[in-house]
Amino acid sequence: MTVTNTGTAATRSWKVTWTWAGNQQITNSWNVTESHSGKNETATNAGYNGVIAPNGNTQFGFRFRVGHCSLLSWACSRRGRSAARHRPLCPCGR
């Protein structure tokens, strides 16, 4: 996933949150600190990629387990602004 700073000032940190539609579970991740509670996932910047310059970006990724295709719902939040997105994931990662 790519996190882009569309603002005019550098970020100090960032966070991406989403809710799984089914029983998906992250098995490993990179360039991010992952945490979860039930179906809710949170990905926060790692210690080295929280600062994003204006018009800059950083990327993170993860692998997850699931028994069938599903709909991934996620929301990006920066300084209280959020934008929900929905993306079908099929075929699903394993």
- pLDDT tens for residues 34-80? 999 988 999 999 999 999 999 999 999 888 877 555 445 444 444 44
Q: Is 91 exposed, middle or buried (0-12, 13-18, 19+ CB in 10 A)?
A: exposed
For 11-47, letters b (16+ CB in 10 Å) and e give: beebbbbbebbeebebeebebbeeeeeeeebebebee
CA within 13 Å, CB half, 82: 12
Q: What is the pTM of this model?
A: 0.69
Q: Which domains does the chain have, with CATH numbers?
A: 2-89 (2.60.40.290)
